[in-house]
């Protein structure tokens, strides 16, 4: 599709963007779509910060003795990269941006169940973010995003308390978002929209919300206890007074492993939507894929012990956690097979969202399978704490969650902004990201197997070649991420106006105008067909 001529913005009909102007209309809005855009801006801001830390680290690691910063500063870089990327970008990204925007639209409601609570969630997120930014400016924190005691509670003299308050507060933002989604999906579905006619994105949001509601409070209390221990040295985590540092790890990972499913499940939901739309086919085994989302959410709570195989955890507990960790891999494998089967006898078009979705499937498969190395006790002894782990979780989070997020942004961009972006540039960006990503993180698998530990500011010389390759890949990846930023912002002003259903997709959000009016639907739609009804016999003209 060639880039349209640059015609000025014709006066569009009333929608949620031009319904009101001025900063008050944004900072005090109760409209879930505007809150989604507030989140979009703030998480992009944090993504740029986290990403710049990553680039600094990769430049530093080009030389064995460290090319850029002092070891203490490097420790602060990887800690803040972890905290900012996980708590302020990955966890909120799809649920808070795409979820907030799309759940009411897909469910056929005018807004989420508790709009005020939704706005409160964003403010809580911002307050938590400010605390974390303060801790970064006022000297940074060097405990690693995992805050392992007794280093974080007794031996670190950096801004542990400030970042602990920041993470503690931001946790409540995702608790309230999860609560909002569960109530909306249960109580506000349009007439005729039964559970098994819902789009799979809603199933993924429902499963993610279960984890957010059940897991995040445990992180809140753990970080609260850590802050108390750091301030008052009461000894529940420091062995000097009889405390057990492993208890902190148990409580921390009880949330933090399900948190990685908070990050990947929404991306799976987005990919289900994109694959169905661009293959013009119903998802193969719809019910199985829906149930596997919930299965991942539930099983995800039983496996956290595989983070602690070498920490002196009992070998019998390790046995149980290893078995359960293998079982949680099964639903993910089922999903991948079902997506691939959906393409069979489909009519596949290669717009940008489809490229991101296919990239997701490839990289998520790699990420998931390398997880088997870490669930198996014998190999985890060798690979734990090395770059193999770093490569594994980046394949899942960057290869999976970020590709899914970008795919979702490109898929629903016409609905969000009412504008279309240049498809050719989007395709180029997708390929650059795919190539840059693999070049960055595949060498780290080999580094990990060779035994290079993670979080090292300087390393033995024999690891340099692979580190230089990884750093080269990081620059390509960084460029890849900048391109969408440019043409998406460009499209908001100059992009061709989008029609209500540019991709010909099914789903209630495509039955209203692009961008939708503030009240979403002139009146509440009634659902009659199954989800993804692309088949010819009910070819409803659209």
Partner 1 sequence: MSQPIVPQKTYLMVFLCLIGLTILTTGVAFIDLGPYNTVAALAIAFSKMLLVILFFMGVRHSSGLVRVILVAGFFWLALLIAFTMSDYRTRAWTPAPDSWSSTAPPTHP
Partner 2 sequence: MTDAEAHAQHAGLAHQFEDLEQQQEADALGIWLFLVTEIMFFGGLFAAYAIYRWLYFGVFQGGSHILDIRLGAANTVVLLGSSLTMALSVRSAQTGNRRALVLFLVATMILGGIFLGVKAYEYNQKFVEHVVPSLDWAPEGQTLARLSPGGLEHAQIYFFFYFAMTGLHALHMIIGMGLLLWLVLRARKDSFTPHYFAPVEVVGLYWHFVDIVWIFLFPLLYLIGGRY
Partner 3 sequence: MQSLPFQPEQASTIARSVDQLYFFLTAVTLFFTALIFSIIFYFMIKYRRRAPGERPKAIEGSFPLEVLWTAIPTLIVAVIFVWSSTLYFRNSEPPKGAMEIFVTGKQWMWKVEHPEGQREINELHVPLGRPIKLTMTSEDVIHDFFVPAFRVKKDVLPGRFTTLWFEATKVGTFHLFCAQYCGAFHAGMIGSIIVQEPDEYESWLAGGAPGESMEQAGAKVFQASGCPTCHLADGTGLGPSLLGVYGNPVKLTTGETVTADDAYMRESIVLPKAKIVLGYSPIMPSFQGQMTEEQLNNVIAYLRALGKAQPKPKEEGKQ
Cα 356 to Cα 340, 424, 429: the distances in Å are 14, 13, 10
Are 411 and 354 contacting, i.e. CB atoms less than 8 angstroms apart?
A: no
Backbone angles phi, psi at 453, to 5 degrees: -65, 155
Instruction: Tell me which of partner 3, partner 2, partner 1, none is bound by residue 197, counting a contact when its beta carbon lies within the kind-specific cut-off of 5 to 8 angstroms.
Output: none
For partner 1, which residue of 145, 206, 301, 445 counts as binding (CB under 8 A)?
A: 301
Q: How far apart are CA 204 and CA 202, in angstroms?
A: 5
114 binds partner 2, rule: CB under 8 A: yes
Q: Which does 327 bind (CB under 5 to 8 A by kind): partner 3, partner 2, partner 1, none?
A: partner 3
Minimum Å gap between C-beta 314 and partner 1 is 4
For residues 387 and 448, the answer to whether their CB atoms sit within 8 Å is yes
Contact partner, 26, from partner 3, partner 2, partner 1, none, Cβ < 5-8 Å per class: none
Residue 216: name its binding partner from partner 2, partner 3, partner 1, none (Cβ under 5 to 8 Å by kind).
Answer: partner 2
- Which residues, numbered 273-302, are part of the site for partner 3 (CB under 8 A)? 279-282, 284-288
d(CA 59, CA 82): 17
By the rule CB under 8 A, 195 interacts with partner 1: no
Among 41, 67, 231, 330, binds partner 3 (CB under 8 A): 330
User: Least CB distance from residue 30 to partner 2, whole Å?
Assistant: 9
CA atoms of 318 and 312, how far apart (whole Å): 10
* CA–CA separation, 21 and 19 (whole Å): 7
Which residue of 80, 86, 182, 361 would you call a contact of partner 2, by CB under 8 A?
A: 182
187 is an interface residue for partner 2 by CB under 8 A: yes
- Judge residue 313's burial from the number of C-beta atoms within 10 Å of its C-beta, 0-12 exposed, 13-18 middle, 19 or more buried: middle
**How far apart are the two ends of the chain, measured CA to CA in Å?**
21
Using rule CB under 8 A, residue 252 touches partner 3: no
Q: How far apart are CA 422 and CA 1, in angstroms?
A: 8
What HEC string does 278-316 produce?
A: HCCCCCCCHHHHHHHHHHHHHHHHHCHHHHCCCCCCCHH
3-state secondary structure of 497: strand
SS3 call for 134: helix
Q: How far is the CB of 325 from partner 1 (least distance, A)?
A: 12
Q: How far is CA 198 from the centre of its chain?
A: 22
3-class SS of residue 386? strand
Q: Give me the phi and psi of 386, to 5 degrees please.
A: -110, 180
Size of the residue set binding partner 3 (CB under 8 A): 89
Min dist CB 364 to partner 3, Å, is 10
- The residues in 414-453 that bind partner 1, with binding defined as CB under 8 A, are none
| Helix (H) or strand (E) segment spanning residue 434 | helix 423-450
Using the minimum distance from each CB to partner 3, give the nearer residue, 144 or 525: 144
Are the C-beta atoms of 178 and 98 separated by less than 8 Å? Answer: no
* Mask for 153-192, x = binds partner 1 (CB under 8 A): ---------------------------------x------
Q: Is 221 in the site for partner 2 (CB under 8 A)?
A: yes
Give residues 481-540 in contact with partner 2 (rule: CB under 8 A): 519, 523-524
Q: Which does 127 bind (CB under 5 to 8 A by kind): partner 3, partner 2, partner 1, none?
A: none
Residue 183 interacts with which of partner 3, partner 2, partner 1, none, CB < 5 to 8 Å by class = partner 2
Residue nearer to partner 1 on the CB measure, 133 or 262: 262
346 binds partner 2, rule: CB under 8 A: no
Shortest distance, position 245 Cβ to partner 1, whole Å: 13
- Establish if 298 lies at the interface with partner 2 (CB under 8 A): no
Residue 234 binds partner 2, judged by CB under 8 A: yes
Per CB under 8 A, the segment of 5-13, 133-141, 206-214, 382-390 that binds partner 3 is 382-390
| Cβ pair 203, 294 in contact under 8 A | yes
Helix (H, G, I), strand (E, B) or coil at 183: helix
Q: How far is it, in rounded angstroms, from Cα 413 to Cα 225?
A: 42
Write b or e for each residue in 388-405: b if 16 or more Cβ atoms lie within 10 A of its Cβ, otherwise e: bbbbbbbbbbbbbbbbbb
Helix (H, G, I), strand (E, B) or coil at 453: strand
The residue from 15, 44, 161, 379 that contacts partner 3 (CB under 8 A) is 379
> Which span (168-176, 187-195, 425-433, 532-540) binds partner 3, by CB under 8 A?
532-540
Structure letter (DSSP) for residue 419: B
Among 1, 240, 315, 522, binds partner 1 (CB under 8 A): 315
246 counts as binding partner 1 under rule CB under 8 A? yes
User: Nearest approach, Cβ of 326 to partner 3 (angstroms)?
Assistant: 4
Q: How far is the CB of 313 from partner 3 (least distance, A)?
A: 9
- Distance separating alpha carbons of residues 227 and 271, to the nearest angstrom: 39
Query: Contact, 515 vs 418, CB < 8 A?
Result: yes
Binding site for partner 1 (CB under 8 A): 186, 214, 218, 246-247, 250-251, 254, 301-302, 304-305, 308, 312-317, 320-321
Binding site for partner 2 (CB under 8 A): 104, 109-115, 117, 175, 179, 182-183, 186-188, 213-218, 220-222, 225, 228, 232-236, 240-244, 247, 251, 254, 519, 523-524
């Amino acid at each position: 599709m060639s880039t349209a001529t640059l015609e000025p913005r014709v006066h569009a009909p009333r929608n949620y963007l031009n319904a009101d102007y001025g900063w008050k209309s944004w900072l005090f809005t109760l409209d879930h779509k505007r809150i989604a855009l507030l989140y979009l801006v703030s998480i992009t801001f944090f993504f740029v910060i986290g990403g710049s830390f990553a680039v600094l680290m990769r430049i530093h690691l080009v030389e064995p003795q460290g090319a850029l910063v002092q070891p203490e500063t490097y420790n602060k870089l990887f800690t803040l990269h972890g905290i900012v990327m996980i708590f302020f970008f990955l966890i909120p990204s799809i649920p808070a941006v795409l979820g907030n925007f799309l759940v009411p639209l897909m469910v056929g409601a005018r807004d989420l169940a508790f709009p005020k609570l939704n706005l409160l969630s964003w403010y809580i997120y911002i307050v938590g973010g400010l605390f974390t930014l303060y801790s970064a400016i006022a000297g940074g924190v060097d405990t690693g995003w995992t805050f392992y005691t007794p280093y974080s509670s007794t031996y670190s003299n950096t801004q542990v308390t400030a970042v602990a308050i920041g993470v503690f507060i931001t946790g409540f933002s995702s608790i309230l978002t999860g609560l909002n989604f569960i109530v909306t999906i249960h109580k506000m579905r349009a007439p005729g929209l039964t559970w098994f006619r819902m789009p799979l994105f809603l199933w993924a949001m429902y499963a993610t919300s279960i984890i957010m509601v059940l897991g995040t409070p445990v992180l809140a209390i753990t970080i609260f206890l850590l802050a108390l221990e750091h301030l008052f040295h009461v000894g529940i985590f420091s062995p000097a007074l009889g405390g057990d540092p492993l208890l902190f790890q148990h409580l921390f990972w009880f949330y933090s492993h399900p948190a990685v499913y908070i990050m990947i499940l929404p991306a799976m939901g987005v990919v289900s939507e994109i694959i169905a739309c661009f293959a013009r086919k119903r998802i193969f085994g719809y019910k199985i894929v829906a149930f596997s989302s919930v299965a991942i959410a539930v099983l995800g709570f039983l496996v956290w012990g595989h983070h602690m195989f070498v920490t002196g955890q009992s070998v019998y507990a390790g046995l149980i956690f290893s078995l359960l960790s293998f079982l949680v891999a099964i639903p993910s494998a089922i999903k991948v097979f079902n997506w691939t089967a959906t393409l069979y006898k489909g009519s596949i078009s290669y717009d940008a969202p489809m490229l991101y979705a296919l990239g997701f499937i490839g990289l998520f498969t790699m990420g998931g399978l390398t997880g088997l190395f870490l669930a198996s006790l014998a190999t985890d002894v060798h690979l734990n704490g090395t770059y193999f782990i770093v490569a594994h979780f980046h394949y899942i989070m960057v290869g999976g969650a970020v590709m899914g997020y970008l795919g979702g942004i490109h898929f629903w961009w016409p609905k969000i902004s009412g504008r279309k972006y240049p498809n050719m540039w989007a395709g180029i960006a997708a390929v650059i990201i795919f190539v840059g990503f693999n070049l960055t993180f595949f060498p780290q698998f080999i580094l990990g197997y060779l035994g290079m530990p993670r979080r090292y500011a300087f390393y033995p010389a024999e690891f340099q070649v692979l580190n230089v390759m990884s750093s080269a890949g990081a620059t390509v990846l960084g460029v890849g991420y900048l391109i969408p930023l440019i043409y998406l912002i460009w499209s908001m002003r100059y992009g061709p106006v989008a029609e209500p259903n540019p991709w010909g997709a099914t789903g209630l959000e495509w039955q209203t105008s692009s961008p939708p009016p503030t009240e979403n639907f002139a009146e509440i739609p009634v659902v009659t067909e199954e989800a993804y009804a692309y088949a010819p016999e009910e070819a409803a003209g659209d």
